[in-house]
Chain A
């Protein structure tokens, strides 16, 4: 099975360059300034403060976005509380109709949402077009279907909504995370106050416009923008019944401390440092492709990214040389170009964080690889990077980098790789590549991770629950599990 690789290598320096193929952005409408969406209307922030939303690929300001302070959050929670009574008493069938309408409108406006998502967040248009937006619509469709069937989801139990949910989402999948949060909450009869991440507020605000157009009763969904302080105001607000947070483990811990002793319920979906494991009997070419997809999807800004690669030692050379070659054909650049595979890093801060890890790898003396092409001069870009022979104790193998950086380790036996894969405070996801079904099942039962993918990676579906073990959080989103966390089940 072991294939010795010689010095022969393929030449990807091409004479046939693809012409730029930018997705047109003439059809989108972005306002210069966005207010807070409270009680069905856009209202100015009490402080009058606005912050800039920046296109990470050009470093240009796209729009100004309102900064919500405690008073604004309070107004939003009050609006949500007011709406809760009528909304929760509405029949499930009626609630479902509204949610179906939201889903259909997202599909209708998919192109505009996709382009704005890429402009605001830096992700390649082919991902926002083919993954983010269709999946967001799918989540609304899925939970719309549950709205009038809650009694069947939990047979012989009676269920009631929790009340007002405070929802805080990250910048890596802005619209999709909003959908993950809003759809199950309102399907169950709750009302919500949602805060998008400060670097990527725009699609949530466009969603607010869409929700208005769908005629959803005022106050059922409120969207307040801002940074950590705004989030803290939501977490600490007395009249919130449930906190749903997706983001870093660091902030997750702060939230958990803040709500201890209160009767607020919580779901936390936090960081990850997933092991992606290739056995020597795997289909190597497909595994290599899966590893690439596992770590470079969305510039590696994915909490379930397969950031630690474990390769069985007999196939180490083959896998490493194929990964290097594959990196040469990954196209990094303008997120709006349809041929871009890896877009811009979401923000300057995140780019600095990633660069600090690259520096740390260098200091450790790790062998590394980056493709030979050049990055765009402007904008926040980072080359996809591989680090070889990384130690289990290395900072790079232990901490979540949240960027296009893959560490590679080898293993000899099944027991060894299980021990190493589980030896992390995180436990969100894992990947296993093998041609043997029995091996895949054995691994999936022993890996401490919320999701284990076998011979594939980064597959999402609204019907499938998602969530973590250990410091990757608790509670599940998606599927019937995603309903349970928004209901009181008697």
Chain B
């Protein structure tokens, strides 16, 4: 096993109380009028439209891909950033998204629990990449992390990163299982140094999923790495962000923590299934002046 390229014992400590207090303050920003419309369109364009269920069908994935490209007829709005599916649906999505800029993200590495060996995880990843995934969302081995086997976690990420080839790698920390803010910071640093292109909060299968404090502390890990190395890392909060207001709060937090360069879907994503429709609802309201019935918005 390799030595970590940084001293894990001296990763920055986090004060949970101060962290929550700071995250709370972003919620007092009032985003209105043009700023709101601009922010909502930006948020829509950052969504990884997701379906990760055992009951997913090819038909459902195809419909979701159409929605990803045309979120709502008659509104001048961007596409979402990507669709996020299981590996066996990547081929279907590839077909359905032909010719569009919408990316395909696939979860891999024995998602969501990661309870398997490296060989299986590699096979899982290769299958997704070979089927045409642009992005791989892997999970870390939380068990090994809690046992203090940080090098194992690091190596696993580095190996998967190699297997990704050109595909960008998002590393899911599953913060809801890490227990403390200090652990989330440690896991963030391990993932970043091991070659993650993105760090991601959650699978969406565990509660709590993404929260503003946990996202803030991961953004700060990204900031510290950037200030040291000049390399940008992306961030993806996932799970539990289902309304426009919350999405705007996240964007405020992003803008005021990492600045303008991160305000694009190249560096920030929302992992969400319901958020897109709420954004459409709000944008329709801005245009028409009243809230439309949800019956006017497609549910896929």
Contacts and interface: CB of A to CB of B under 8 A. Distances in A.
Rank and list the top 3 A-B pairs by shortest CB-CB distance, nearest first: A286-B18, A21-B30, A283-B15
Interface stretch (A9-17, A240-248, A388-396): A9-17
B36 to A, nearest CB: 7
A13 B256 CA distance: 10
Interface string A280-293: 01111111011000
Contact of B226 (A8, A15, A19): A8
A435 B42 contact: no
B31 A19 contact: yes
B15 A455 contact: yes
A287 B19 CA distance: 10
B227 A18 contact: no
Nearest to A457: B18
B1 interface: no
B28 A126 contact: yes
Interface in A1-51: 1, 3-6, 8-19, 21
Q: Which of B14, B227, B228 has the most CB of A within 10 A?
A: B227
B290 interface: no
Interface of A: 1, 3-6, 8-19, 21, 126, 130, 281-287, 289-290, 321, 329, 338-339, 435, 455-456
Interface of B: 10, 12-15, 17-19, 21-22, 28-36, 38-39, 42, 217, 220, 223-224, 226-230, 251, 255-256, 258-261, 263
A11 B260 contact: yes
A322 to B, nearest CB: 9
Contacts of B34: 19
Contacts of B18: 283, 285-287, 289-290, 455-456
A10 B32 contact: no
Given A14-B255, A14-B263, A286 B14 contact: yes
A284 B230 contact: no
A190 to B, nearest CB: 37
Main SS class of interface, B: helix
A283 B12 contact: yes
Contacts of A8: 226-230
A16 B29 contact: no
Given A10-B258, A19-B35, A281 B13 contact: yes
Contacts of A4: 228
7 contacts: A3-B228, A10-B259, A10-B261, A11-B260, A19-B32, A283-B15, A339-B29
Given A338-B28, A339-B29, A19 B36 contact: yes
A285 B19 CA distance: 8
A12 B258 CA distance: 8
B13 A283 contact: yes
A11 B260 CA distance: 6
Contacts of B259: 10-12, 14
Given A11-B260, A15-B260, A5 B12 contact: no
Contacts of B17: 286, 455-456
B32 A285 contact: no
B32 A21 contact: yes
Contacts of B30: 18, 21, 338-339
A11 B230 CA distance: 12
Contacts of A339: 29-30
Contacts of A13: 260
Contact of B263 (A16, A126, A286, A321): A16
Contacts of B226: 8, 10
B80 to A, nearest CB: 19
Given A8-B230, A283-B13, A15 B263 contact: yes
Contact of A14 (B21, B223, B260): B260
Given A8-B230, A11-B259, A285-B220, A17 B22 contact: no
A16 B12 contact: no
Given A290-B18, A455-B17, A17 B35 contact: yes
Contact of B38 (A3, A16, A329): A16
A258 to B, nearest CB: 43
